[in-house]
Structure 1
């Protein structure tokens, strides 16, 4: 719609939509536009909002979700109708399960009159309903500001998640009435937990003999991180993390016990079994369980923004519901050091686990074993460096073996656990924090699911290293297949020449052919800047040896002592 068609200073629906987005502080929109978005695209052309043109809608959604995860603000992505919108479905679930604030905008054919029949028409609003907190079609331009404000409110409100608005083509070009106004963002604060619930939690902590702190994804915020450091330093209570809670407290802290990468059977579970109280800060049942509760077993305090979803493996005896940082600060100020606490077994577990994490990390066999890959990556990454992990067997090794020094420096997904998210997540981190070193760590399978976004990364002139851990197979499923006693079948494939593939996009490609070359190759790639792909063959025989056999043997006596 051109300027000449406006009357009395009225805006088109598309212009009003973009003005409302600007009012919400939106910096970027990630997406793949279609013809149904052309009015919106024209309004964006004159906007302060930067359009990031992706090569696939799924990657656009992953980038928007990661923006929400890293900033706490709502990330925004865009698609056309039909197949464009269905390509956002995985990203919608990724943000919803991962508690990442994200808004999807999809186009649609005109709804008041159309001569296209049912061509490309799907009920996208109904499609998105199970995957979102809020989904609406806009049927009148005058309602755009209210619907958009409500969508942003719900996306960011605890527990954060996904929202969706459908903007039909004729509503985007329709003139809104001149008196239509845009609503200011809310400045409402999160509610604080009741003093009664806080006092009961403090009493439970003081009377416990072997309390243990568990840190989950909901604690991965700066204020919560500072509060937890205060709590740990004040009480001396040891802590462990879920996969998505890594780095909330510096994992070099003397009270850090380890990561509950597995649901059971690791050293950390000896400590969990020994605990008579677990203070769960920020974990909920959407993330894969870090341990299983049993009736009549240890007590659990649920400290989170929202109440616990009760599950057969998770049924906390007490809940502290409210702003997590405020709750943790109150507990730190009111619990203090308790002389009846006994952490000796926990520290014995820590010693055993630390020794195991050092095992074989200097191994020089080739192809390279996972322990050595993790060790070399940790050595080249600075303290504030960010790694973004795709989903595969290597994610378990990094969650368990890689120590994170700050919150949101290890980006992984253990809720939807979708393949294909690693590269877009790393790209978003590199855009937001250009002064920090960023590395995408992907399996060959996960990388190829959104590898076309290398062109986007090169076009945006990002500084990014992409480490491909290459086994020419869906390695995690092969591991599970072997665990179940099935024959090796249906999971092997071929790959392109990754060095040539990277170069075809204008990136730099590197093939690691000796173990001793991995660390210097990564160092050189990060120093040079630009987009670099590093292909490293992996020896996954360690999966069975460590996770299926060695851990059971090494923890048997320790588990008996800790029970």
Structure 2
């Protein structure tokens, strides 16, 4: 069989269901081999979207998503999505066609050294130089991408290797992400003793809890000790918002509603916590001890190391620490009450558009606790992270690593492919919507209905605010209005424009009830954005 046939068999063996991308001349053989496979090739309208979708598939399934481009410009367009997966720790295998081995020289039209280009933003970057190596290198890529902390692996596919004959068979075993054994019993007992002696212990839970599938064990752990818990944006839902111990999400630095807990806590327990999401200088305030529990070592930030670090199977560690607890009163109950009061308070409307607080509440009220809300990047992301109550893991999907604009629509497609039974709403700024809005055609072609709520203010609001704070004026932050409804209709998608919160609620409820692929443009009152600056 050809190398391309062997690669397809390897992808099937790794349980890949979708390959996202755009075909080209250098991946012709692979595209043809995919036709006879059990996988679906999802044609996207831009390579960045293909990588965004593959990364979100990896995040939601805990198995690497797959994307495919061709050489030069195709692979270069994929960079932003691969970098997002790298900084968000999402498992992904990114592949690109390349000119044949003998043609790889500088200078040559459309040829660049892809392996070197992707190396800084991947766990590994390699070129398959022989068709017989395809099974080993493919399995290694998927295994490495899955291991804690997960991330993307890049594979370059020279076109002559894809044509080359081989008898190599795929590996027969698919490996999980590689769990360590639980930490030594003495280490667990030391942590138990620290918790028992603390007066105001606090759990900060991150995305590592979701990656380890340890949500149940975390909830049991905080309940056993009656300890308050706050989640990073990407760990949102690890403890439900309506749990009396939940402080919902943190990560807005000095603007966090519950920031008082950082100074009051005398012991912080980091559980599956990635420091990239929320650096210690914002929460390691005053004299306190810090314990880290994770399936990989605590990442490095200059000037910080946890006092105690336990590495192992996170679920087993949390289960062990849940035994024989010394319960105490929930010392953060007043702070939690202030949080709930703050989220319940809504400003009055004055006819200048819909205020952000009302948009967030309309989205939350329209969705069930297991439905999915996605936020693209912009001022609306800060509002979502600050005010959206999260009840279950992976039901508020945001970026908190690379934080690129344009993820909202591609992520909604990926979320709907993984969870076709759930309602999905993507909260998207009009600036970010313009970057990947053509993927609405992809969604229509795939039959993946969701609602995109487009915040319309014709401005890059956060940048405008920072310019004005720094210099008292702004430039390059405003752009012309686009008729979002007409655009949606031009690609066969339902479109609405609303100017009040009541109109928004009615449109949202109707579109979700009818399972429509729809865009709702919301005229935003951006007057409240001045308080969003977070340092």
What residue in structure 1 maps to residue 173 of structure 2? 185
Q: Report the alpha carbon displacement of residue 297 of structure 1 after superposing the two structures with TM.
A: 2.1
Distance, in Å, in 1 between the alignment partners of 2:443 and 2:402 is 24
Distance 1:539 1:290 in 2: 34
5+ residue gaps, structure 2, are none
* Alignment map for 1:326-365 (pairs within 5 Å): 326-334=316-324, 336-338=325-327, 341=328, 343-344=330-331, 346-360=332-346, 363=349, 365=351
Determine if the alignment matches structure 1 residue 390 to structure 2 residue 379.
no
C-alpha distance 214-365 of structure 1, shift in aligned 2 (>3 A): farther
Report the CA distance between 1:513 and its aligned residue. Answer: 2.5
Unaligned runs of 5+ in 1: 1-10, 553-563
Match of 1:52 in 2: 42
**2:262 and 2:285 in contact (8 A); partners too:** no
1:277-426 aligned at under 5 Å gives the runs 277-289=267-279, 292=282, 297-312=287-302, 314-334=304-324, 336-338=325-327, 341=328, 343-344=330-331, 346-360=332-346, 363=349, 365-426=351-412
Shift of 1:364: 6.0
2:477 is matched with which residue: 485, 491, 495?
Answer: 491
Alignment CA distance shift 1:266-1:141 (3 Å): closer
Q: For residues 56 and 309 of structure 1, what CA distance do their matches in structure 2 show?
A: 33
Is the alpha carbon distance of 1:201 and 1:438 closer, same or farther for their aligned partners in structure 2, counting shifts above 3 Å? Answer: same
Q: Distance in 1 between matches of 2:359 and 2:347?
A: 8
Contact 1:223 1:325 in 2 (8 A): yes
SS at match of 1:372: helix
Corresponding position: 1:543 with 2:535: no
Q: Say whether the 8 Å CA contact 2:245–2:330 is kept in structure 1.
A: no
Match of 1:70 in 2: 60
Q: Aligned partners of 2:233, 2:399: CA distance in 1, in Å?
A: 8
Q: Distance in 2 between matches of 1:73 and 1:113?
A: 34
Question: Would you say the 8 A contact 2:256–2:386 is kept in 1?
Answer: no
Structure 2 match to 1:154: 144
Tell whether the 8 Å contact from 2:263 to 2:286 is kept in structure 1 after alignment: no
Question: For structure 1, which segment, 495-504 or 286-295, has the greater mean C-alpha deviation from structure 2 after superposition?
Answer: 286-295
- The answer for the alignment partner of 2:210 in structure 1 is 220
Aligned residue in 1 for 2:264: 274
CA deviations over 1:273-298 (Å, ceiling 9, x no partner): 10001111111222243762558622
Deviation at 1:479, TM superposition (A): 2.1
* 1:202 aligned residue: 192
Bigger shift: residues 274-283 or 477-486: 477-486
Q: Does 1:253 align with 2:239?
A: no
Q: Is 1:513–2:499 an aligned residue pair? A: yes
- Computed over aligned residues only, the root mean square deviation of the Cα atoms, in angstroms, reads 2.0
Indicate the residue corresponding to 1:4 in structure 2.
none
Tell me how far 1:236 sits from its aligned partner: 0.7
Give the corresponding residue for 1:130.
120
Contact 2:498 2:521 in 1 (8 A): yes
Q: Tell which structure's C-alpha radius of gyration is larger.
A: 1
Deviation digits for residues 182-214 of structure 1, max 9, x if unmatched? 212344650122223222111111111100111
Conserved in 2, the CA contact under 8 Å of 1:461 and 1:530?
A: no
Is 1:534 the counterpart of 2:503? The answer is no
* 1:448 and 2:448 are equivalent in the alignment: no
- Does the 8 Å contact 2:83/2:402 carry over to 1? yes
Question: Contact 1:441–1:467 at 8 Å: present in 2 too?
Answer: yes
In the superposition, relative to structure 1, how do residues 222 and 171 fare at CA in structure 2: closer, same or farther (>3 Å)? closer
Contact kept? 1:210, 1:342, Cα under 8 Å: no
Find the aligned partners of 1:107 and 1:119 in 2 and give their Cα distance: 14
Q: Distance in 2 between matches of 1:311 and 1:505?
A: 46
SS in 1 for 2:156: strand
- What is the CA deviation profile of residues 337-386 of structure 1, one whole-angstrom value per residue up to 9, with x for unaligned ones? 33xx4543x11212222222222256464311111111111111112110
Alignment-derived partner of residue 162 in structure 2:
172
Q: How has the CA–CA distance of structure 1 residues 259 and 114 changed in structure 2, closer, same or farther, with 3 Å as cutoff?
A: closer
After superposition, the Cα gap between the structure-2 partners of 1:362 and 1:519, relative to the gap in structure 1 and judged at 3 Å, is: farther
- Which of 403, 422, 425 does residue 436 from structure 1 map onto? 422
Q: Are the structure 2 counterparts of residues 313 and 258 from structure 1 closer, same or farther at C-alpha, using a change threshold of 3 Å?
A: farther
> Larger deviation: 76-85 or 418-427?
418-427
How far did residue 255 of structure 1 move? 1.0
**Contact 1:365/1:515 (8 A) holds in 2:** no
Distance (whole Å) between structure 1 residues aligned to residue 6 and residue 464 of structure 2: 51
* 2:27 counterpart SS class: helix
Pairing 1:476–2:466 present: no
Hey, what does 2:111 align to over in structure 1? Answer: 121
Aligned in 2, Cα 1:109/1:252: closer, same or farther, shift over 3 Å?
same
Kept after mapping to 2: 8 A contact 1:145/1:182: yes
* Alpha-carbon distance in structure 2 between the residues aligned to 1:77 and 1:262: 32
Instruction: Report the Cα distance in structure 2 between the residues aligned to 1:315 and 1:297, rounded to whole angstroms.
Output: 14
Cα distance in 2 for residues equivalent to 1:127 and 1:115: 15
1:253 partner SS: coil
Deviations 1:444-496, CA, capped at 9 Å, x for gaps:
11111111101100111111101101110111111222332430221000132
Which 10-residue stretch deviates more, 114-123 or 135-144? 114-123
Change beyond 3 A, Cα 1:255–1:529: same
State the shift of 1:15 in Å: 0.6
Partner of 1:6: none
Alpha-carbon distance between aligned partners in 2 of 1:113 and 1:516, rounded to the nearest angstrom: 62
Q: Equivalents in 2 of 1:412, 1:114: separation in Å? A: 39
Distance in structure 2 (CA, Å) of the matches to 1:515 and 1:295: 39
